Amino acid sequence: MMRGRLLSVLFAGSVGAAAAFAQVPDPTRPPDALLAPVADGGAAAPVETGVQTVILRRGGKSGAVINGQYVVVGDKLGDKRVLKISESEVVLEGEGGREVIKATPAIEKVPAKKVAAAKRRPRGSTEK
């Protein structure tokens, strides 16, 4: 008898928890604008997003993912050819000239300021 009540309480609790979790949106789901079909019923046009990732290989061909397409130096991306892949950009060349696509357009790398060795105090020194 007690076992039957315990099972029914556990079952009721799990049903309530499942209903609560059903209302939480999936954080990995793409935005609705990307999932919506276009008006003519065909596939949605790809969203221009630029460089998603860069893969640098020592002694091998580095690659990049641009607008969802994996490319290496020498490959064509649309009507442009990939000239160079570095950690911060991909250089393309086409009929309109060269185009540089930054991996992180809003971030500029600047070297850290180096302190001259003469100005540094030696370790363990108590002199001021």
Band of the pLDDT at 105, cuts 50, 70, 90? confident
Owning domain of residue 95: 51-102
Residue 70 has pLDDT above 90, yes or no: yes
Q: Is residue 16 part of a domain?
A: no
Q: What local confidence, expressed as pLDDT, does residue 74 receive?
A: 93
97 found inside a domain = yes
Q: For 56-60, which contacts have Cβ atoms below 8 Å and span 24 or more sequence positions?
A: 56/85, 56/86, 56/87
Instruction: Name the 3-class secondary structure at 14.
Output: helix
pTM as predicted: 0.48
Q: Is residue 30 part of a domain?
A: no
Structural domain count, the chain: 1
Taking alpha carbons only, the member of 96, 110, 106, 97 closest to residue 51 is: 106
Residue 93 belongs to a domain: yes
Domain-located, residue 112: no
